[in-house]
A = this chain, B = another copy of it.
Amino acid sequence: MKIICTRQNLIQGVSTSQRAVSTKNPLPILSGILLTATNNQLELKGTDLEMGIQCIIPCTVQEEGSIVLPAKYLGEIVRRLPDTPIQIETQEGVNVVIRYGQSEITINGFSAEEFPGFPNPQGKNSIIIAEEDLKEHLRQILFATSPDENRPVFTGVLLEAAEGTIKLVATDTHRLALKEINASSELQETNVIIPGKTLNELARVIGAADKNVTISIGDNQIIFGMEDTLFISRLIDGQFPNYRQVVPQGYKTRIRLKTKELLEAVERASLLARVGTQIIRLSIEEEKIIITANTEVGRIHEEVAVYLQGDTMQIAFNALYLIDALRAIGSDDIYLDLSGPLSPGILRPVEGDDYLSLVLPVRTI
């Protein structure tokens, strides 16, 4: 393999494909990125066997071929290269020489044949969605996934497609976020759980204006296709909880308020509540909501103006869950719907009914 490419393209390709490389993986070959030069382009692939990312960057191919290079070093090196044309050439054995200006770096790699086969992208059911939109949807959903690998279903996001709409749902059993998206009519009925990790990495690379992501769903894999980049991920096996049962129909108390005002008040309350269990109490009155927390450090009494429909109510929440939900909602004005001190609180944007998030209350005596 012998190629010449620009620093900028190389950085882009390496840093994107590197996102699939796990630093914890015990297999040395999986700490590497597979570089393959053909047809005047360089293909870079990284995988942790659960997720794979393939990137294509333009380059001048002087000699076709392929090699696996350690992702960590390659990433750090290319980011520090000068802005000159960069030549990469494989040497005898499994070394590669990176030449720039008068200087060169030789790094030890692995044989391309050792690299695990990449799942063949296959998926019949396709959804096309704008990168910007998908990024925002993911931001609104991903905070509600669980980090606990022992219960895989909760680490993922449910994608449910039916009757022209797609629903994205995440829950860690303490809170839940649900987003509804209008989709093209060709869509078949689908019900899959996508690993949160894949979506977190995806959210970091998408967002370009006027570009689309094509989502293709296969039997046990999902593919996100961008202009020069492909994310392939396994799906999570298991039964996602029936979220419809969890979301209360109707409410006894509805308050309308400014997201920012409640968020800042809860953030302050959280500072004091933190030495304890992050429990804050909400007392909903006629024209205001009173937020209190009381710990050994001190106590806080915050008032936020609200419009109340229905009953006054007292309820307690974990401040951190409320903060996450308020940051994710992406709307200046929201409704908080309550049905009782032991029923979940539902946050909805005032504009649009395509999103909600649910937070379980804390039982207090």
Q: Is A298 an interface residue (CB 8 A)?
A: yes
Q: Mark A256-275, 1 if CB is under 8 A from B, else 0.
A: 00000000110110011000
Taken together as a complex, chains A and B put the C-alpha atoms of A82 and B268 apart, in Å, by: 10
Given B103, B288, B298, which contacts A105 in the complex, CB threshold below 8 Å?
A: B298
Taken together as a complex, chains A and B put the C-alpha atoms of A102 and B301 apart, in Å, by: 9
Contact between A300 and B103, CB atoms less than 8 A apart: yes
Whether A268 touches B104, Cβ cut-off 8 Å, given contacts A95-B298, A297-B70, A298-B95, is: no
CB of A51 to closest CB in B, whole Å? 26
CB of A251 to closest CB in B, whole Å? 25
23 contacting pairs across A/B (C-beta < 8 A)? A73-B272, A73-B298, A77-B271, A77-B272, A80-B271, A82-B264, A95-B298, A102-B288, A103-B268, A103-B301, A103-B303, A104-B300, A104-B301, A105-B268, A105-B272, A105-B298, A106-B298, A106-B299, A106-B300, A107-B297, A107-B298, A108-B296, A108-B297
Please name 15 further chain A to chain B contacts, defined as beta carbons within 8 Å, in addition to the given A73-B297, A80-B267, A80-B271, sorted by A numbering.
Answer: A73-B271, A73-B298, A76-B271, A95-B298, A102-B302, A103-B300, A103-B303, A104-B300, A104-B301, A105-B268, A105-B299, A106-B298, A107-B298, A108-B297, A108-B298
The 5 closest A-B pairs by CB, nearest first: A107-B298, A102-B303, A103-B302, A105-B300, A106-B298
